[in-house]
Amino acid sequence: MEHDGRADESDKRKLRRDLLSVRRGLPEDDVRESGRALAARALELPELARARTVAAYVSVGTEPGTGALLEALRARGTRVLLPALLPDNDLDWGEYTGPDSLARVRHGGKMALFEPSGARLGPGAVTDADVVLLPGLAVDARGMRLGRGGGSYDRVLARLERAGARPRLVVLLYDAEVVDRVPAQAHDRPVHAVVTPSGVRRFGR
């Protein structure tokens, strides 16, 4: 049967709208509490305990909170890389050395992001990571991740593949965002695990 990529894109857009709508309705206290629980669960991952370098991100709005996790990784002595959005939606990287190493940056009409304020290490810096923590809106039983649609992390995953880098890929989500199936296309890559406030689920590769 011929695969209709346009139908998949349309399904992705609808699913994104539905999931973002639920996130927007989350009370601030729930977001904060989820962030603490998420950090505790993620820190139990042996992959994170062993990692010398972790590529992460700073959550914004009602995304599952990463602040507590970033601080805990830094306290462990883990080198943490954070993304900086480039004009073409690709990602550059810089080191996280604490909350004062972040700058609030607004990109056009988009939501303001918190990005590393120190030296830029180049888009290829992510290939040094032992673990890459990915934002997303959902993941399914196969480990297929639904992103926000900007394509930034598709580029990151393609860069890792080209470099022959094999970091563990872990997506951070709310419990209800682990779903039966997300629409996937040929270029989509499964993740190794999902961390939610209630636990960790691994996917076979």
Tell me whether residue 16 is annotated as binding: yes
- pLDDT for position 150: 86
Do the Cβ atoms of 18 and 43 come closer than 8 Å? no
**Could you state, in order of their start, the residue ranges of all structural domains in the chain?**
5-202
User: Per residue in 39-91, pLDDT tens?
Assistant: 999 999 999 999 999 999 999 999 999 999 999 999 999 999 999 999 999 99
**Cross-strand partners of 200:** 195
Confidence of residue 120 (pLDDT cuts 50, 70, 90): very high
Flag whether the pTM goes above 0.75.
yes
Tell me whether residue 151 is annotated as binding: yes
Tell me whether residue 63 is annotated as binding: yes
Tell me whether residue 150 is annotated as binding: yes
* Conformational region of residue 186, where left means phi above 0, alpha means psi within -120 to 50, and beta covers everything else: alpha
Tell me whether residue 13 is annotated as binding: yes
CA–CA gap between residue 49 and residue 9 (Å, rounded): 37
Per DSSP, which regions of 28-122 are E strands? 53-55, 79-85, 91-95, 102-105, 113-116
Whether the pLDDT of residue 2 is over 60: the answer is no
Tell me whether residue 145 is annotated as binding: yes
Tell me whether residue 152 is annotated as binding: yes
Tell me whether residue 146 is annotated as binding: yes
User: Per residue in 122-157, pLDDT tens?
Assistant: 999 999 999 999 999 999 999 999 998 888 999 999
CATH class of 5-202: alpha beta
